[in-house]
Each structure stands twice: as structure tokens, then as C-alpha cells.
Chain A
Amino acid sequence: MNQERATSPLWNPYAGGVALGIVLFLSYYLSGAGLGGSGGVARVATFAVDQVASQQVDRNPYLAKIAGGDANPLNHRMVWMLLGVIAGGFVSGSLAGRVKAETIKGPAVSTRLRWALAFLGGGFMGYGAGIARGCTSGQALSGGAVLAVGSWAFMMMVFAGAYLLAYPLRRLWN
């Protein structure tokens, strides 16, 4: 442990929340829309499909809206936000000494299993974010702040789903 660089402590969660709330307000104030995480990823995924099978994209009503015909799926607000999030996370992590190649996992889980579960969990998240038209950032956080009914229903279900599985899968994290 003593070989590790000292990492600065995390912000108090309430202070972090206030800062995040101000960022969210500024996003609405400056551009009329909230924050997002998975929208940019969806566009990158569609971009990849478009490179390999462009006709398949044009025939699919969902994908065609993003990248049908000549439309460039990467020319979108969410892709810029995606780049910003990565840069912001990296700068904050470097300043705090938290940039380090490692695998975060529960003590009882092997690294291989953790990787497999990360992919599986990411898959569930991506599929769910597609169905819900947004993830915890775009739906729960942004929609919650403007009091959208669907966003609050969504948020409650995220917590419900996670708490239902938390106990049976407790060995993954504890």
C-alpha cells in the first residue's frame, strides 16, 4: 500500500451533488437540454454498424433515424458530450492521483469473472438504456430535474431492480 501515490479524498457526496446539479442546470440554461451518457455510445455503435452494413442500417427504423442514408451518426450533441465526459474524468482523476490501470472488483471475485460480469452488466445497461430512451444520466438525472413522469418511474425501477438482485448477488461485491 505504501507504494501507492496518495490520492486526494473524494468530495462529500452532498457537495458533489450540488456541483452536479449546477452543471445540469447550466446544461439546460446554455443548450436547453440535459446531460447524457449512453446517447453518444449508441451513436458510436451505430456508426460502426453503418461502416460494415450500411443497407442494414437503412432498413431498420430505429437505426435509420440515427444514420440512415447520408446522415452522419457522429455529428450530434451527445457525441461531443461523450468526449467531454472522458476528458473531464481523466483530468479530475489525474489531479487526484486516481488514474491507474487496474480492475475494480469485490474481494471474492476473480479478475476474469469481474471482466465477464462487467461486459454482461454493460450489455444489460445498454439494452435497457435503449428501451428506456436514456440511462441514469439522460433519463433519471436530467428528466428527474425537470419533473418528467417517465423519468421518475424509470428511476424508481432502476433502484428496485438493483435492490432486488443485491442480496442474492452479494458475493460479487462484499
Chain B
Amino acid sequence: MAPLHFAGLPFILVTLATGFAFGFVLERSGFGNARNLAAQFYLHDMRVLKVMFTAIVTAMLLIFAAAAIGVLDFGALEVPATYLGPAIVGGLLLGVGFILGGYCPGTSLVSMSTLKIDGAIFVLGVTFGLFLFGQTVPGFWNFWNFSGAHGRWTLNEAAGVDAGWAVLGVVAMAVGAFWFVERVEGFFRRGKPQPPLSLRATWLRRSAVAGALGIALVTLAIGQPTTERKIAWQAQALDARLESREIHLDPAEVLSMMRNNQIDLVLADVRNEAEYNLFHLVDARRVTLAELAHGWPQRLSEDAVVVVISNDEQAAEEGWKRLAVQRVNAYVLAGGINRWLDLYRAQTANVPGPDHPAAGDDVLRHRFEIALGDRVAEARPDPKQVPPRKFQPKLKLRKAVRPVGGGCG
């Protein structure tokens, strides 16, 4: 499932090609010339708004339609994190810069590439502005990082509806805006009237609007994929990862993680309440599979490492699938609670390593007379009190997908 992942030279070539196409289209649309751009704000040529909104609508329709039919994993796309305060202040500054200078950073690069002197000077200005920003941002660090910070947050999430509704709304708004700006242009261009649209152009516009609304409606009707649908689509890849045992952690590794305060560890115990009350690991939270599929992962921090725990492995692997398709860095406790207790309660010799699947069918093998929960030593044994154990470490910490940086990307 896309997005594709390139690395090394192919990645550089893909990025260069994307940038090339971006620059080419900007130049063709007239964005290399400040007068075309500034005309937007004097209302006689609303080219900027038309190109930008058409581009946003086109890309949005393709992205969300592809996500609905399972071609593209929306969760894997980089959505710029929302920082409302900086977005508002920065947006106003960009608006001021636009009227004064006539470009934005991307278009000034295009302008410079076609040897426009004002464009090249503008690029120098942008460089200086970014330099100044880098020197001064420590002075308003808290505003920059915490004012209205919501992380990854989309319009449909804010409204609590399927993304299809937001897509339909944006298409409707764009069509309305185009209709409106065509009227405004006509009014402010009184001097030189536009020739009336040809029949073909009228027909093209109507079919484009109908097509866009059609795609939006189909996207809405299919709906963005639920966790269950994503599991069905990715079944093969998920089973292959389970088969390879790369996500099964040895009890000793989980214990070392519980003693490591640098890891944002979340222990998700998917057993029933009675078994959880009998015995569970220190700090384990009891969750149901249904909760894992809906809503629960959204409350995790970006760096969270989740270890799913059941008596053996069956239920835990089901829970892991639900988290994996939602791109949580999730693992399964190899052998489950039973193996944990073999190791730390019964202190059995030759407890198998994490590559060894648990044979059991998720029934608690160890007997507890009373419900002690985590008030027993084996809920988080002191490493000095248990025999040392060798294990193959499997945990992979994710680097933050992208550091909080200024500028585009």
C-alpha cells in the first residue's frame, strides 16, 4: 500500500523530479511573475486563488478517494501538525510579505530561475528572514511550541465526522469561491471585458465540477477505512510479521523496558477483568480489543511503545494487528502471562526464547488463590533477585517521524 518508500539515490531522484514538476507547473501558471501574483489582491485577476484552490481540491480528492479504496494509507502521510497560534501570526506575516514583495518562497525560487532580479532579491530576503527567525525563536520558544498545539489534527477530526464530509465541504466551498471570484473579476475588469466563454469551455467547467462532486460523494459513500477493513487489506503483511516473530518480546526484555524510564512504555492487557484482577504486570492497563480498534491509540503519545499482553499469544496478536494498522509502535509479550509466570514465579528452567511461539490457547495456567493484581513481586521482579536471562532484543524505537522544524517540510 502506498505511500512508497524510497531510500538513497532513488529517493533523491524522486524528490528532484517532484520539485522539477512543481517548479514547471508554477512557472506555467504564471507564478514566476510578481504582477500576476499581486493581481490577486487587486481583484482583477484571481489566478492565485484559482490555481491554489484547484490544486488543493484535486490533490485532496485523489488522496481521500485513494485512501477509501485502500490504495493509499492516509495514516502514513505527513500531515503538518497544527499549532494555531504560530499559524495565525505566521500567516499574517506572510500576507504582509506578499503585498510588499509580491512572491512567496516557492514562487520566488521560480522567479529567480527565470532571471527575474526582484525574485532573486526576494529569495535573499527570505533567507535573511529565516536566519533572523533562527536567531530569535529561542526568545518565544514556548509560544512557538505550545500555543494552540494540537499535533496531527484534521478538519474532519475537529468536526467529529468521516473525512468524506470534509472533502465534500471543501469541494462545495471551492466551487462557490470560483463562481464568486469570476463575478468579482468581471466587476473589477470593467475596462477590458473578457470574451464570453466558448461552448467547449463551459462544458468542460460543468463536467469538472460534476466530476469533483461525484468523486467526493463516492469517497463519502465508501467512507474512510475502519481498523477492521485495514486489517483485511493488510492481512498478508501482518501475518508475515507475526510469523517472523520480529514483534514478540521476551519477558526479560519487557522487564528491562519496565525499568527504563527513557521509554514511554504502555502495557495493554487484553484479558478479561477477572484474570486481570488475579494477576497483572505493574502499570498494565486493561483494554478490550474493541477499544484498541477505536479511539484508544489516538490518546497515545507519538513515541509510545505498546506491549500487548494476553495469557498466551492469540488475543495479544489480535490486539497487535489492531494497533499495527493504526501505525502504533506495538509488540506482543512472547508467551504471554503464562511464560512470564513460568519464568518469574515458578522459575522453571529452560523457558523458551521469544522466537518460540506459545502453544497454549490463552488460558491462565497458573493458579492464584486470591486476586492480588500487581501486589506481588513477580508483577515487576527486581532484576537483582531473578536469575539473569539472555534474550534477543527485538524492540525498535521509532525516531520522531520528523523533528519540529521551521520552514516548509
A85 contacts chain B at the CB level, 8 A cutoff: yes
Which listed residue (B99, B102, B134) contacts A62, Cβ 8 A?
A: B134
Complex-state Cα separation, A75 to B97, whole angstroms? 28
Instruction: Kindly supply a per-residue 1/0 record for chain B positions 89-105, scoring 1 wherever the CB is within 8 Å of any chain A CB and 0 otherwise.
Output: 11111111111111111
In the bound complex, what is the Cα–Cα distance between A16 and B390 (angstroms)? 61
Given contacts A87-B23, A146-B77, A165-B99, A115 and B127 within 8 Å (CB-CB): no
The answer to whether B117 and A135 touch across the interface, beta carbons within 8 angstroms, is no
Given contacts A13-B47, A128-B97, A129-B94, contact A146 B63 (CB under 8 A): yes
Contact with B105, one of A19, A135, A169 (Cβ below 8 angstroms): A135
Which residues from B are CB-within-8-Å of A108?
A: none
Asked whether A13 lies within 8 Å of B29 as measured between CB atoms, the reply is yes
Of B137-145, B231-239, B246-254, B299-307, which binds chain A? B137-145
Interface contact A32-B126, CB-CB below 8 Å = no
Which one, B2-10, B314-322, B355-363, is touching chain A?
B2-10
Cβ-defined contact, B137 with A130, below 8 A = yes
Contact B129 A122 (CB under 8 A): yes
Residue A2 is within 8 A (CB to CB) of chain B in the complex: no
Q: Which of A83-126 contact B (CB under 8 A)?
A: 83-93, 96, 98-106, 114-115, 117-126
Establish whether residues B60 and A145, one from each chain, have CB atoms under 8 Å apart when the complex forms. Answer: yes
Please indicate the chain A residues that have their CB under 8 angstroms from the CB of B11 in the complex: 31, 77
A31, A42, A137: the one contacting B130 at CB < 8 Å is: A42
**Cα of A82 to Cα of B16 in the assembled complex, Å:** 8
Q: Answer whether A14 and B50 are a contact pair too, CB < 8 Å, given A104-B111, A132-B91.
A: yes
- List the B side residues contacting A146 at CB < 8 Å: 60, 63, 74, 77, 79-80, 154
Q: Is the CB of B121 within 8 A of A115?
A: yes
Report whether B106 and A124 are in contact in the complex, using a CB–CB cutoff of 8 Å: no
User: From B43, which residue of chain A is reached at the shortest CB distance?
Assistant: A166
The verdict on B20 contacting chain A, using a C-beta distance below 8 Å, is: yes
**Complex: how many Å from CA A80 to CA B408?**
13
Interface code A44-86, partner B: CB below 8 Å = 1, 0 otherwise?
Answer: 1110110000000000111101100000000011101111111
Contact A89 B35 (CB under 8 A): no
* CB-based contact B26/A85 at 8 Å: yes
Prevailing SS type, chain A contact patch: helix
A66 to B56, CA, bound (A): 29
Contact with A along B234-272 (1 / 0, CB 8 A): 000000000000000000000000000000000000000
Segment 15-34 of B: residues with Cβ below 8 Å from A: 15-30, 32-34
A135-174, CB < 8 A from B? 135-166, 169-170, 172-174
A-B CB proximity, top 8 nearest: A121-B101, A161-B95, A122-B125, A84-B19, A126-B129, A17-B54, A21-B58, A138-B408
21 contacts between A and B (CB under 8 A): A17-B51, A24-B55, A24-B58, A28-B59, A38-B126, A49-B131, A80-B15, A84-B23, A88-B113, A89-B23, A118-B102, A118-B119, A121-B101, A125-B97, A126-B130, A130-B137, A147-B167, A148-B154, A150-B148, A157-B90, A158-B98
Give residues in B with beta carbon < 8 Å to A: 2-6, 11-12, 14-30, 32-36, 38-42, 47, 49-60, 62-63, 66, 72, 74, 76-84, 86-119, 121-135, 137-138, 141, 144, 148, 150, 152-158, 163, 166-167, 170, 178, 205, 208, 403-409
Residues of A within 8 A of B (CB): 10-11, 13-14, 16-46, 48-49, 60-63, 65-66, 76-78, 80-93, 96, 98-106, 114-115, 117-166, 169-170, 172-174
